[in-house]
Amino acid sequence: MSYDEKILSRATELYEADRRERQQRFAERQESIYRRAPRLREIQQRLGGTMSRIMAEALRKGADPQEAIKRLRDENLALQSEKRMLLTRMGMAHDALEEKPLCALCGDSGYTPDGRLCQCLRAYCAREQQRELSRMLDLGSQSFDSFSLDYYSDDPDPVMRISPRQNMERIFDYCSGYARSFGKKPRNLLLYGEPGLGKTFLSAAIAREVSERGFSVVYDTASGIFSRFEEQKFGDGDETEVTRILKCDLLILDDLGTELTTAFVTSALYRLVSERLMAKRSTIINTNLKPREIAGRYSAQIASRLEGEYEILPVFGSDIRLLKKMENR
């Protein structure tokens, strides 16, 4: 579980910019204190001097080491109390001249002493990934909380034998459980059905929750994803984009079948599906194609992997885009 390089490097840039800005602001605050009380600058410089330098100075004057240490300590205490007194008189806190890290866990380095990504930098990554996902998905309004079951009819579907609502209740529970337990073991989903039934909506809800929990998530449409493969192969495309697609913890490939399906696309899809299965990385595919159409359009190898390794969830009911349009009339 980790954020990918693109997200991490962007997050690190922002993290460091914020840290520099804090340092800058602190230096300005410090300067303004020194302007009001120049003596404080002297005191700070004296206190900030290294032990060894002060010791050397004392010894050069020919004092015996015990004496030197004692004098040093006394001087230190005197300076500390003078500093406190000056600061108090200015109405400032005792530690106003000390720069404290914002994150005590990592001292604002972004990594804990054992070398792991600290939660403070992790939060920047989560935000950066959320921003990336929001370019394609409506993460603001599409969540499990805002998903309504009221658009799905209670009348049993003659072919499926259950109502769209019963069906969607089951899919909703499955998807919210999927997001909650993401990371325990790899699981793949294939959501298929007619347009306007909430497939992209559910994907956005999953993406949002899984991303918030610290996993790398990439969302794109089939045509977007296959263009990345083409750019990498034939153009000056960015290698890291294909790596992100193949290596992220959760890949959501939307609208499979709406791209122009070429032999190149079929082989890219095969590579994507099989490499991710082998590496035990989770994938969600949405499509308007029925499972048997997938075999015809792509290949039997792809269809076999999807049928064998993906949880296949059929969505059916009435087009919610149209229902909403009628509501607004």
Q: What angle do CA 260, 264, 265 make, to 5 degrees?
A: 45
| DSSP result, 297-318 | HS-HHHHHHHHHHEEEEEE-S-
The answer to whether residue 148 forms part of the interface with ligand ATP (CB under 6 A) is yes
CB 51 within 8 A of CB 58: no
What is the phi-psi region of residue 76: left when phi exceeds 0, alpha when psi lies from -120 to 50, beta otherwise?
A: alpha
Q: Which alpha helices (H) appear in the chain, and where do they start and end?
A: 5-36, 38-48, 51-60, 65-89, 119-134, 164-180, 199-212, 222-234, 239-247, 263-278, 291-297, 300-309, 320-327
The sign of the dihedral angle between the CA atoms of 304, 305, 308, 310 is negative
In angstroms, the CA 169 to CA 296 distance is: 31
Instruction: Name the minimum Å distance from CB 196 to Mg ion.
Output: 8
Q: Which does 201 bind (CB under 5 to 8 A by kind): Mg ion, Zn ion, ligand ATP, none?
A: ligand ATP
Instruction: Name the minimum Å distance from CB 227 to ligand ATP.
Output: 18
Q: Which does 106 bind (CB under 5 to 8 A by kind): ligand ATP, Mg ion, Zn ion, none?
A: Zn ion
User: Which residue number, 114 or 145, has a Cβ lying nearer to ligand ATP?
Assistant: 145
Taking CB under 6 A as the criterion, the residue among 65, 113, 140, 195 binding ligand ATP is 195
Compute the radius of gyration of the chain from its Cα atoms.
Answer: 30
Instruction: Name the minimum Å distance from CB 299 to ligand ATP.
Output: 23
Instruction: Name the minimum Å distance from CB 194 to ligand ATP.
Output: 7
Q: Which does 195 bind (CB under 5 to 8 A by kind): ligand ATP, Zn ion, Mg ion, none?
A: ligand ATP
User: Which residue number, 138 or 231, has a Cβ lying nearer to Mg ion?
Assistant: 138
User: Which residue number, 199 or 247, has a Cβ lying nearer to ligand ATP?
Assistant: 199
- x/- mask, ligand ATP, residues 196-215, rule CB under 6 A, reads xxxxxx--------------
Instruction: Name the minimum Å distance from CB 103 to Zn ion.
Output: 3
Taking CB under 6 A as the criterion, the residue among 132, 220, 241, 255 binding ligand ATP is 255
